[in-house]
Amino acid sequence: MLLSLARSASLYGLAMAAVAARRTAARICLYLVIVVLALVGLGFLTAAAFLALAQSLGAVYASLIVGCVYLVGALIALLVAQMRRRRW
């Protein structure tokens, strides 16, 4: 009797682990789709900003401005990451 109870409990645990793994996989896939869509949107926004700047200022200055904006964004993200790391 005790052996069958242990088997049932282990099967229940395996079933719950499978459900949790499926939910986690679904959540990861959803976040992956969100990240891909956000990156595509960011690419189109970058292209639109570049084209607008290139029309008004020229291609060289547009490239410099867009590149500097991304560089400043990366530096800000680096500073935030360093500040969070020091807190922990």
DSSP 36-88: HHHHHHHHHHHHHHHHHHHHHH-HHHHHHHHHHHHHHHHHHHHHHHHHHHHH-
Higher-confidence residue: 87 or 77? 77
Number of independent structural domains in the chain: 1
Token pair for residue 10?
């282990």
* For residues 54-71, average pLDDT: 96
Q: Is the pLDDT of residue 8 over 80?
A: no
Residues spanned by the domain of 55:
2-87
Token pair for residue 40?
């595509």
pLDDT at 84: 85
pLDDT at 16: 82
pLDDT band at 19 (very low <50, low <70, confident <90, very high): confident
Token pair for residue 62?
């547009």
pLDDT at 2: 63
Phi/psi of residue 18, nearest 5 degrees: -65, -40
